[in-house]
Chain A
Amino acid sequence: MSKPEFVYVTYIETTPDKLWQALTSSEFSKAYWFGTELRSDWRVGSPFALVMDGTTSDVGEILEYDPPRRLSYTFQHILRAEFRNERPTKVVFTLEPHGKFVKLTLTHEGFDGVPELLNAISNGWPAILSSLKSLLETGTALAIPLSALGTKGL
């Protein structure tokens, strides 16, 4: 068992149900995830896709779906040729209520030493999580242009 490469934590003033909805619905994800739609029927074993402006950038498979506690899927980037043959990585979201906050823990693991992919991911998640927090707490997502992260469209 390899250890996760990234563990991110944010405390969001919301309910587990609302946070769960934000993690699994395109209506929300378009606001906080650089305009990305999440496509899946959310059954374990079902396909999962990230779609931006009609173009699929990443695909995967739902591994765990336990609302509103634990969500996990695999993740494979398919747009950029150099990442297309890499093994899929794994993302796990864990939600724990703490008073009026929900602790959201995100782990991402399974990078086979692809530094550029690691780099792109490490730029992306903190921005996505901050924007998600802002959306749920204030109703406004942070408008972070993808280009500002220097990840070249990943």
Chain B
Amino acid sequence: MDDVFKALADASRRSLLDRLHARNGQTLNELCDGLDMTRQAVTKHLAILEVANLVTTIRHGREKLHYLNPVPIHEIGERWIRKFERGKLTALSELKRQLEKRDE
């Protein structure tokens, strides 16, 4: 679990997870596209995310695709969120999301 928290304690790595959350199964090139990070930095961050099992890769033909693996994050939630709280928390996050929504 330490690996997961260390991996998440970095804005660049969280933004890589956000990009995979928006579109799963990207190549390194796709992930680097439009990012303000060198390819080398992205590679380094991805390695840390992979060690934490937050990103997993598969070979697809000649490409290596990166996927967001939310299982460790789910396990963190399970540790501290009791089952009867889950519904209320979902409602609260939805309320926060709705209220904070910007006109886009």
Contacts and interface: CB of A to CB of B under 8 A. Distances in A.
Given A7-B56, A11-B53, A145-B86, A126 B74 contact: yes
A8 B78 CA distance: 17
Given A9-B53, A130-B78, A3 B60 contact: yes
B71 A129 contact: yes
Contacts of A3: 25, 60, 65
A89 interface: no
B58 A126 contact: no
A4 B90 contact: no
A59 to B, nearest CB: 26
Contacts of A144: 78, 83, 86
Say what secondary structure dominates the interface of chain B.
mixed
Interface in B56-97: 56, 58, 60-61, 65, 67, 69-71, 73-75, 78, 83, 86-87, 90
Nearest to A94: B58
B18 to A, nearest CB: 15
Interface residues of B, number: 20
A95 to B, nearest CB: 15
A130 B75 contact: yes
Contact of A148 (B53, B58, B70, B90): B90
Contacts of B87: 147-148
A5 B69 CA distance: 12
A148 B83 contact: yes
A121 B98 CA distance: 23
A127 B71 CA distance: 8
Interface string A84-109: 00000000000000000000010100
A134 B79 CA distance: 11
B23 to A, nearest CB: 10
B15 interface: no
15 contacts: A3-B25, A4-B25, A4-B60, A5-B25, A8-B56, A9-B56, A9-B69, A10-B71, A105-B56, A126-B71, A129-B74, A142-B78, A144-B78, A147-B87, A148-B87
Interface of A: 1, 3-11, 105, 107, 122, 126-127, 129-130, 133-134, 142-145, 147-148, 150
Given A7-B56, A7-B67, A142-B78, 15 more contacts: A3-B65, A5-B24, A8-B69, A9-B71, A10-B71, A129-B71, A129-B74, A130-B78, A134-B78, A143-B83, A144-B78, A144-B83, A147-B87, A148-B87, A148-B90
